[in-house]
Structure 1
Amino acid sequence: MNELLSKFRKCGIALTAVFLLTQMTAAAQGTLLTGKVTDTDGTPVIGAGIISMQKKASGTTSDLDGKFSFKVPAGTESVLFSSVGMKDVVYKIVPGKTENITIVMEWESTQLDQVVVTGYAQTTVKRITGSVAVISSDKFEAKAISSVDALMQGEVAGVAVSATSGQPGTQSRIRIRGANNLSGTSQPLWVVDGVPMQSDSPSLSSEQLATGGFDDIFVNGIGNINPNDIESITILKDAAAAAIYGSRAANGVIVVTTKKGEAGKMRINYNNTFTMSIKPQRTLNLMNSAEKLAWEDELWNEFSADKYEESLTDNTIVYPVVGIVGQIRAGLGDFAKYKGDTAAQDACIASLRENDTNWYNLLFRNAFSQGHHLSLSGGSEKNTYYVALGVNDEDGMLIHNSYRRYNVNSKMTLKPVDWVRIDIGMEAARQESRMPYSSVDPFRYAYFSNPYEKAYNEDGSYAADNTWFTLGYYNGRGVEQVMPKNGFSLLRELDSNYSSTKNTNGTFRAQVDFKIAEPLHFVGLASYSFANNSTDKIVDKDTYTAFRDRLGSDDRSQTNLYGSISQNRTNRNSYVVRGHFAFNKTFLERHTVNILAGAELRGSDANTIFTKRYNYDPKTGTTSL
């Protein structure tokens, strides 16, 4: 009997050891946590972050249905659930309660109560039915950014902001939830302090656009507003925007609210920004002049020299012309004097080795930019004011490229009686841009041009490029181009040709809010806007651009040279008169009735004058042929 009991005890100890070992193995392998994440209304929370509190390197996210499956690493006691705009939830791991759990997350009250300005009225996130995003001033007031559209870059989901040019002052391309059409514009509607921006210009003909004389750098967007004057930016992203603004809002609406004065003593605020942009660098380890010439000479000897000798007696023989060495050895173009003289050819090639031009250093520069903003605000309970002045000075990385902007913004709010509020505002801006012009892309030229090409001759004049336009013709890839006697020099193009654009615009607005009987209000608004845009494109007579832009009768002449001036003048005027009744009432702290009814009258007028004159003299301002 004792022997039998002893066997049972040994068997029990063995089973207990196996059970404990199984539990330890399971714990070491981790626990599978599954379930669903919802908000207080039962709506799935998409993309909620799920991480281990003790092993924060491990985590996952909830899917489109709010569901998740997370293999909890060993040693985890609790799991953190988080999502933007919602309160964090910490779930403690309990054995036996790790499958099909439900995590309920609450919205942050600050997010729900965030003010949304639609242009016609104000509401909060929890009361609006459409898809909106709000960017408040505290997110961008510390950024060194000079344009409004750049403030939104990377800040809002579904809003793509991309630069269209490196030229300072150009407006970015903004797409809200992608492009909505194939042929028309996809730019969103801008609304500033309740006034839609009606900045479309008359379209130009294809002939006018082909001349390159029209620069729309200041036509679209709201580049005239200083970012320091902005209080908030609201982006209306879905079809609900069209219910407010109609077909104009097909591509979304961006509502900009500028700052106002606050009651109290005068506040004086000054801030400035200084930025430095580093010029493009020749990052690849490309050949220098000596290496490039040696390589071209090697290719000539291997692939071209024998065929060249044969071509002297048989003109049907073709041979590749590689770089300037091929032109010198074959005696082509300006090197015809070296034909058959090997010693003179070698001396010419040796002289080229002394040139090692870094075109990046000549065509580009480190760009310095600065911005200054001064504002004064204050007032009393009956009236407040806000006045701001701004100056932005930006240099482009391309030589001779610059941009200037001058802003003035003033607002006044009057409350003569408790049931009346009057808002008066004025904004004005002056923008100036200068851009060097060339038919050859400077960045492409800086990268692909040969280092042995000189920038200047010994007498200080511009040196002609001997390979940029000739190699294609010599190798059978196009017709021969008639070149000016002084040749092509990109430095001459950028120093002599330029496009100058100036824009002056302003907006005047007045708004009256009558409190008829709380919560019924009548709001009336009237605004007038104007913009004058002028562009002058000057092409100097000694440049390659002018040489290629002559009349057809002079197309083959190397002596009859003349420049041109292309001028574009655009004037726009617009007005908006609006009146609406607004009723907003909350019942039982949960139900809200919001009714808005009114009418709007708007109109705009725009005209464009375009001229192009040849044989322009920049000294006298006259033209003649």
Structure 2
Amino acid sequence: MKMGFFLLVLGFTSVHATSFSQQKVNLDVKNETLLHVLDILQEQSGYTFLFSSEDVKDVKGISLQVQGEGLFDVLKKCLVGTGLVFEINEHLVVLRREDVKNSMQQRKYIRIVGNVTDLRKQPMPGVTIMVKGLTVGTATDMNGKYTLSLPEMKNLILVYSFVGMESQEVKYTGQDTINIVLKEAVSEMDEVTVVSTGYSNVNRRDMVGAYTTVKVDDIMMAAYPTIDQMLQGQVPGMIVRSTSARAGTSPKIQIRGTSTLLGNQDPIWVVDGIIQDDPISMNASTDMTQDMKDILGNQISWLNPNDIETITVLKDASATAIYGSRASNGVIVVTTKKGKIDRLSINYSGNFAISPRPRYSQFKLMNSQERIQFSEEAYEAGLYYQEEPLQQIYTYEGLLNMYQRGEVSPQDFVYHRNRLESVNTDWLDLLTRTTLNHSHNVSVSGASEKLNYTVSVGYNKNDGQEKGNGAERLTGRASLGINLRENIKVNLAINGAIGTTKSFAGVNPLDYALSTSRAIPAFNEDGSYAFYRIPFTYNYNSEAEAIGIGYNVLNELENTGSKVKNGLVSMNLNFSWKFLDWLEYQFTGGYSYNSTNGNSYRGERSTAVARTYRGYDYGSVEPTNPWFKAALLPFGGELFTSASTTTSYNIQNKLLFSKQFNENHRLNAMIAMEIRSTTSNNDENIRWGYVKDRGNKFVSPTNPSKFESLGNKNLTGFGIFDQLYNNRTAVSEQTNNFLCNSGRFL
């Protein structure tokens, strides 16, 4: 017989038939089913209704309207003509067919009491006791005690369960009292109550200080390619601030505020017990190198989020007791995944994210008609410009200046003015795009009593909304764990990653689109680029400063850019030997090799090179022109390259002590020796005369003996030519060694 229940948990308090009849309910139904009516009565009364679904499924057409009437009377009215009767036992209402009255009256109710404790005989509140095969049961109170009342049934089995404990099943054989002792479930306890500090795993209740542990599966977001971006808003006290919306950039993380104003403010990242090295800093003295610095990545840019099991954030000063003063900015401990015992898992996960490009309808910005109208109103109001507008047909102010000076006829003025008013350039459409970002991950994992293995490969492609910006990353990981004996374990892991990020060199497309007038055309009427004049300073040609320099953002993006390629290989070895239940030796060794190669360039056709080294637009001056002799770099642009490598190793020897005394006291201690060394090599070089579209060739700058300044500044000796001819190179090598012997109470 199939039984139906509305409530999952039976109450503890006895309720007699008298109180049942005094229970007041309201009912207003018309042609309803008995099942729906019982649902309403149960919700209002708090009683549990027990019945056979076969008995009530065909009972329909119940119409009744009562207000503040006793539950006993209402239920009798609902059952008139149905062939059903009911009886009450404490908080349980049992419905049955009238023709089985005799058999049901002979049926007994049983009452079971007891208490639940753990192995240390401590009461366990909140333990769930359920009838196997049914959804009815109860839970223990604050003292671990419980009471369960239900009809007598054959083969009654009670299931006792609690998070982190092994479930137990007990068959009812007529006993009135059942006391249970629950044991810890080791596999679940490791997951739920053990926290990794990087150096050791500590029981959650033994942890001191402020910390937060999150599972990566709970924070995984397809829109974010790296784990540091996924942590935004997930950890109390942690601020994850995006430095740029571009693909390949890393956010800045602060844990509980700023600990220093001038020094490094980044937290320490620890992956499987190995501290990750900071990336090599770059000299970002110009816009060109600053854009490349932003896409270098951080300590864990190589890490595939799908390979991570948990993340623990150590927030306060207690972290410095483990990692020293470097931990004043906080510590983020990453634990990677391992295979599940007695299971072979082959998993594929793919994520796709579409980000629509921004549109002007999302911003309160003037269109071209409003911009021209505003300029005309400003002029009619007699407002003055801070500087005289450059004469040109690509801006209203420049066109008006030409008209006032008689450079254009009234007809031409009106023609060009109307074109500026109607051009309504959509810079957002020209410079941004709708992106489709995707990531893929394939993993194979498994484990047995002796062996644990995991192999994974991941690919991520993240295109930025700004055209020309994008990042790709390919990662791989293999780990193997061997149980040599019950108390001796070895784990080996190998990680690899390569990535490429493309960005800009001194150009900010999105900022340009939101700050540039839409009355400026991007193209001429013949489809060629429209170069509007902008003010600039060139100390060696004051004549050129008077007419400005031509600028078109599309041309600038075509002739400038930056790219960074990263590669990493790392290996970790962990060995543990548990001499006694309370004494364990651990060895951790790690080696990593990280290479970064980047370049940033500005071509000879770019405005950036023209305004800095030439003083005139590309191709606008012949070699016989005096302006040509006043150019530092008549041909070619500039190229910045950076090649860096970081090699590091880490060796740890630890002796861990964890012992419990008198069931209520426990002591955790660690004696450790650590050796860590990091060697960084960096080679930065700037070369002038770079011509990318001629096979990456280099052209010599102007001969100093033939240089003739037309400005208010003259060269003294070789001057800037000393750099232009000899280039600028910076080579550095740095080695940091660290040795620590410590004993700590955890």
Q: What interval of TM-score do these two structures reach, taking the shorter chain for normalisation? A: 0.7 to 0.9
Distance 1:596 1:422, change over 3 A: same
Residue 343 in structure 1 maps to residue 343 in structure 2? no
Distance 1:624 1:142, change over 3 A: closer
Determine if contact 1:119/1:193 at 8 Å carries over to the other structure: yes
Which residue does 1:122 correspond to in 2?
201
Distance 1:460 1:503, change over 3 A: same
Which residue does 2:314 correspond to in 1?
236
List aligned pairs for 1:600-611, cutoff 5 A.
600-611=674-685
The residue type equivalent to 2:696 in the other structure is G
Report Cα offsets for 1:521-544 as digits up to 9, x if no partner. Answer: 111111101110011112111111
1:568 Cα shift? 0.6
Distance 1:105 1:541, change over 3 A: farther
Determine if contact 2:308/2:335 at 8 Å carries over to the other structure: yes
Q: 1:522 aligns with which of 585, 592, 600?
A: 585
Report Cα offsets for 1:200-245 as digits up to 9, x if no partner. Answer: 42x4557578854752533423111111111000011111111111
Determine if contact 2:219/2:234 at 8 Å carries over to the other structure: no
Residue 504 in structure 1 maps to residue 504 in structure 2? no
Report Cα offsets for 1:106-160 as digits up to 9, x if no partner. Answer: 9x97799622100111112211112111002341246553211122211111111
Distance 1:511 1:481, change over 3 A: farther
1:383 Cα shift? 0.7
Q: Percent identity?
A: 29
Structure 2 CA distance, aligned partners of 1:456 and 1:355?
10
Residue 487 in structure 1 maps to residue 550 in structure 2? yes
Determine if contact 1:213/1:567 at 8 Å carries over to the other structure: no
Which residue does 1:367 correspond to in 2?
435
Structure 1 CA distance, aligned partners of 2:629 and 2:276?
45
Residue 287 in structure 1 maps to residue 380 in structure 2? no
Residue 171 in structure 1 maps to residue 256 in structure 2? no
Distance 1:574 1:340, change over 3 A: closer
Q: 2:688 aligns with which of 602, 611, 614?
A: 614
Q: 1:186 aligns with which of 256, 265, 289?
A: 265
The residue type equivalent to 1:492 in the other structure is N
State which drifts further: 341-350 or 495-504.
Answer: 341-350
1:593 Cα shift? 1.4
Report Cα offsets for 1:15-70 as digits up to 9, x if no partner. Answer: xxxxxxxxxxxxxxxxxxxxxxxxxxxxxxxxxxxxxxx9xxxxxxxxxxxxxxxx
Residue 405 in structure 1 maps to residue 470 in structure 2? no
Distance 1:118 1:481, change over 3 A: farther
How high is the TM-score relative to the length of structure 2?
0.62
Residue 425 in structure 1 maps to residue 479 in structure 2? no
Which residue does 1:536 correspond to in 2?
599
Which residue does 1:442 correspond to in 2?
509
Distance 1:105 1:371, change over 3 A: farther
Which residue does 1:454 correspond to in 2?
521
1:413 Cα shift? 0.2
The residue type equivalent to 1:464 in the other structure is F
Determine if contact 1:547/1:561 at 8 Å carries over to the other structure: no
1:435 Cα shift? 0.6
Q: 1:251 aligns with which of 329, 340, 350?
A: 329
Distance 1:574 1:554, change over 3 A: farther
Structure 1 CA distance, aligned partners of 2:455 and 2:546?
57
Determine if contact 2:223/2:437 at 8 Å carries over to the other structure: no
1:105 Cα shift? 13
Which residue does 1:82 correspond to in 2?
none
Which residue does 2:451 correspond to in 1?
383
Determine if contact 1:482/1:558 at 8 Å carries over to the other structure: no
Residue 569 in structure 1 maps to residue 680 in structure 2? no
Report Cα offsets for 1:300-331 as digits up to 9, x if no partner. Answer: 34527xx99xxxxxxxx998899933322321
RMSD over aligned Cα, in angstroms?
A: 3.4
State which drifts further: 405-414 or 138-147.
Answer: 138-147
1:185 Cα shift? 1.0
Q: 2:396 aligns with which of 314, 325, 329?
A: 325
Determine if contact 2:242/2:252 at 8 Å carries over to the other structure: yes
Determine if contact 1:399/1:494 at 8 Å carries over to the other structure: no
Which residue does 1:158 correspond to in 2?
237
Which residue does 2:382 correspond to in 1?
303
Structure 2 CA distance, aligned partners of 1:267 and 1:483?
71
Count of aligned positions: 501
Determine if contact 1:484/1:544 at 8 Å carries over to the other structure: no
Determine if contact 2:480/2:493 at 8 Å carries over to the other structure: yes
Which residue does 1:623 correspond to in 2?
698
Structure 1 CA distance, aligned partners of 2:284 and 2:501?
24
Determine if contact 2:291/2:503 at 8 Å carries over to the other structure: no
Distance 1:131 1:212, change over 3 A: closer
Q: 2:301 aligns with which of 209, 223, 229?
A: 223
Q: Which runs of 5+ in 1 are unaligned?
A: 1-53, 55-86, 89-103, 309-316, 474-478
The structure having more radius of gyration, on CA atoms, is: 2
Determine if contact 2:248/2:501 at 8 Å carries over to the other structure: yes
State which drifts further: 427-436 or 208-217.
Answer: 208-217
State which drifts further: 135-144 or 480-489.
Answer: 480-489
Distance 1:241 1:559, change over 3 A: closer
Structure 1 CA distance, aligned partners of 2:691 and 2:505?
17
State which drifts further: 590-599 or 497-506.
Answer: 590-599
Structure 2 CA distance, aligned partners of 1:288 and 1:204?
41
Provide the secondary structure at the position in 1 that maps to 2:246: coil
How high is the TM-score relative to the length of structure 1?
0.73
Report Cα offsets for 1:354-375 as digits up to 9, x if no partner. Answer: 4121111111111210010111
Q: 1:588 aligns with which of 657, 662, 671?
A: 662
Provide the secondary structure at the position in 1 that maps to 2:326: helix
